[in-house]
Amino acid sequence: MIRAETYAVVNLAALNLIEAVSAAYFVTEKQASARHEFRAREMLKKIALSLGYELVEAAAQDNRPERRFNAESPPALPGLRLISAGLATPKGDR
C-alpha cells in the first residue's frame, strides 16, 4: 500500500507533468517549449524518486526510417531511463 505522503507527491507531480507537456506541445516559441519540456522531465524525476527509482539521461536513438532519409525532421531528443535508486550508475544498455 502506498503512503499518503507518497501519493500526494506523485499525484501533484503528475498533474504538473500533464500541464507542462500540454504547454510544451501547444506553445510556438522554442525557448518556452524547452522550458516546459524541462519542467516535464523534472516532474518525471520527482515521480520516479517518490516511488524509489531514479531517471537518468539515455542516449538519443532515432531509428525511424523516415528520419534516416529526411534531414528536415526534428532531431531525436535524449530519452530518460528508469533505474533502481540503489544503483549508483546504470551499466551498459539495459
Cell numbers describing residue 84: 533502481
Cα separation, 43 vs 2, whole angstroms: 19
Q: What is the identity of the amino acid at 3?
A: R
Report the phi/psi class of residue 52: left, alpha or beta, with left for phi > 0 and alpha for psi in -120 to 50.
Answer: left
* Domain spans in the chain, listed from the N-terminal domain onward: 4-84
Query: What number of other Cβ atoms are within 10 A of residue 50's Cβ?
Result: 19
pLDDT of residue 81: 79
Find all residues with CB under 8 Å of 41, minimum gap 6, and list them: 55, 80
pLDDT of residue 28: 87
Cell numbers describing residue 70: 529526411
pLDDT of the chain, 94 residues: tens digit per residue: 778 999 999 999 999 999 999 998 888 898 999 999 999 999 999 999 998 888 887 766 555 555 444 455 455 556 777 788 665 444 444 4
